[in-house]
Amino acid sequence: MNPEPRPNTRRWPRRTAISAATALALLAAFVLGAAYLWRPSASDYDSVYLDQVATRYADTDLARFHYTVTGSGSPIVLIAGGALWQYSWRNTIPALAEHHTVYAVDLPGQGYTEVLQEDFAYDLPAMADAIETFLDAVGLDKTALVGHSWGGAWSLYFAETRPDRVTRLALLDAPALDVEHADQIKPFEIPILGSAVANLTTRDLFADSLKSAFVHDDRVTDEMVDETWAWFSRPGQRDAFVALAHGMDYRLTDALLHQVSAPALVLWGGDDEWLPAAQAQDLAGRLPHADAVILEGCGHNVHEDCPELAIPLIDEYFED
C-alpha cells in the first residue's frame, strides 16, 4: 500500500509572510496617502459668533492677526488653547471688560488668523514671537496675559523671555513642566501618522475630543462644536495643529520658570482628563510669585466647563 502523501506545510508560513508584508505595505500607503495626498472637505458652517462681535485685523509681516477689543482700562490679552480660538473666551470677555481693555487674539494656527511668514516654525519660540508681534501691532508695551492649555504654555514662555512686557499672568490648565505629554496629543506628535490622524478627524471625532475636556459635557453644544470645527476642519489649520503638537517642547518652559517676574495665577480643573491637577501645585511652586487654585468637578477647559467658578476667580485676580 502506498503511504498517504504528506501535506505540504512549507507554503503556509511563506503565504502568511507575504500577506503580512502586503498588509503592512497597504497600511503604510494608506497612512502616507491620508497624511500627504488626501485633503478632507472643510465645514461650510457660517460662524454666528463672528456676526456678533466687532472683528479686527492687525496686519504684520508674520501674520494677519484676527482679534477683538472689548471694554476699557488696563489691558488683558486672552490666548486660547490648541484647537480652540477666541470663541472659547465668549463668557470671560464681558466679565473682564467691565474694568479692563480685553484683547482676544487668534495666534498662528488658531481661528481666523492668516499666517504670512512661509517658514513660521509653530514652536514655543515662534509662538512667543507671534505674541510680541501682535502686541507691537496693537501698541501694547505691557499687558496682562491669560492663556489656556497650549495658549498658557505660549503665554508663559513669552513671560519667561520678555518679563518686562507682562504685568500679570493667569495660566489655565497650562502644560509647562517637562513631564509626559497628554495622551490625547501623542498621536499627533508622531511623524507622518500625526498628519494622517488630523486629516482623518471628522466632526464627530472632534466633538468627542472636545467633550473629553469637560466634566459637564452637556455644555458642549452643537454650536460650540460647529464654531470650533468650522475653522479647524480646513486643511491648512489641521497641518498647523500637527506642527504645533510637534513644537511643544516643555523643556524650554520648565528651564526658565525662575525668570517670570510677574505675579501668576495657576488655575486648574480638578478633574482634568488631559493634564493631572497635581501639575498646578508643582507649577505654582516653581514660579517666583504664584498661587494655585484647583476647582474640583471641573475639566481641562475650566473656564468653559465651570464658568460660574472660574471666571469670577480670574476677574478677582486682576482686580487685586
Q: What is the pLDDT of residue 25?
A: 39
| Cα–Cα distance list, 81 to 4, 35, 37, 76 (Å) | 71, 24, 28, 16
* Through-space distance between the first and last CA atoms of the chain, rounded to whole angstroms: 103
| Cα–Cα distance list, 209 to 54, 112, 124 (Å) | 29, 21, 23
**60 burial level (CB within 10 Å; 0-12, 13-18, 19+):** middle
Q: What is the pLDDT of residue 147?
A: 98
- Distance CA(100)–CA(82), nearest Å, equals 25
Q: What is the pLDDT of residue 20?
A: 52
Q: What is the pLDDT of residue 277?
A: 97
Rg (CA), the chain: 23
Candidates 184, 182, 187, 160; CA nearest to 171 is: 160
- Distance CA(143)–CA(124), nearest Å, equals 19
**Residue segments in the chain with a per-residue pLDDT below the cut of 50:** 1, 9-10, 12, 21-32, 34-37
Q: What is the pLDDT of residue 172?
A: 98
Does an H or E element contain 135, and which? Answer: helix 124-138
- Give per-residue pLDDT as tens, 246-266: 999 999 999 999 999 999 999
Residues with Cβ < 8 Å from 211, sequence gap 6 or more? 217, 220
Task: Please check whether residue 88 is in contact with residue 82, taking contact to mean a CB–CB distance below 8 angstroms.
Answer: no
For the domain 48-181+248-319, what is the CATH superfamily, name and number? Alpha/Beta hydrolase fold, catalytic domain (3.40.50.1820)
Does an H or E element contain 146, and which? Answer: strand 143-148
Residues with Cβ < 8 Å from 228, sequence gap 6 or more? 83, 84, 85, 87, 88, 206, 210
The 3-state secondary structure of 226-258 reads: HHHHHHHCCHHHHHHHHHHHHHCCHHHHHHCHH
Q: What is the pLDDT of residue 168?
A: 98
**3-state SS class at 178:** coil
Parse the chain into domains and list their residue ranges: 48-181+248-319
- Give per-residue pLDDT as tens, 191-243: 999 999 999 999 999 999 999 999 999 999 999 999 999 999 998 999 999 99
